[in-house]
């Protein structure tokens, strides 16, 4: 199994090294070179409706899986405790369905957050 190292950074370097997950809490993102060997950069925004990062003091995990659907390789994998765990390839139909579900999830999140903000405004 392939292993990543992780680096917490203030600014993501211009030239990324392979097998390193760069994490910027300031910019709420994690970025790395695709582990399949294609050399593409993969950015994962960190937010309640995108990816979640867990740091246990020794290793990091990203949830959910990383699907590089916009890249020619279309790699699909998990980063769990700094290890790359390959996931099954998705069909075009699965990719489209996943994108639709992501859009709906983000829409619900933002509507809920907007509603909560209005509620708190009138509560005061």
pLDDT averaged per 10 residues, the chain (length 124): 95 96 97 97 92 97 94 96 95 87 78 57 54
Residue given tokens 């980063």 in the structure block: 79
Q: What is the pTM of this model?
A: 0.81
The structural domains of the chain, with segments of one domain joined by +, span 1-88, 91-124
pLDDT (0 to 100) of residue 30? 98
121 vs 17: CA distance, rounded Å: 46
User: What is residue 116's predicted lDDT score, i.e. its pLDDT?
Assistant: 54
**Cβ(53)–Cβ(62) under 8 Å?**
yes
Number of other CB atoms surrounding residue 92 within 10 Å: 9
- What pLDDT, on a 0 to 100 scale, did the predictor assign at position 49? 82
The candidate with the shortest Cα–Cα distance to 44, out of 56, 34, 36, is: 34
Which pLDDT belongs to residue 18?
97
User: Which pLDDT tens digit goes with each residue over 88-113?
Assistant: 998 989 888 888 888 887 777 667 66
CA distances from 57 to 54, 60, 85 (A): 9, 8, 20
What's residue 85's pLDDT? Answer: 97
Tokens of 59: 């290793």
């Amino acid at each position: 199994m392939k292993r990543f190292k992780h680096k917490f950074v203030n600014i993501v370097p211009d030239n990324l090294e392979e097998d390193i997950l760069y994490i910027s809490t300031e910019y709420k993102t994690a970025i790395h070179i695709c582990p399949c060997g294609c050399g593409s950069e993969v950015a994962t925004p960190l937010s309640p409706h995108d990816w979640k990062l867990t740091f246990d003091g020794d290793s990091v995990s990203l949830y959910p899986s990383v699907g590089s659907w916009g890249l020619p390789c279309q790699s699909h994998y998990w980063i769990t405790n700094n290890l790359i765990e390959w996931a099954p390839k998705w069909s075009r139909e699965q990719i489209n369905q996943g994108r639709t579900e992501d859009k709906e999830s983000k829409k619900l999140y933002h509507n809920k957050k907007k509603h909560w903000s209005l509620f708190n405004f009138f509560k005061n």
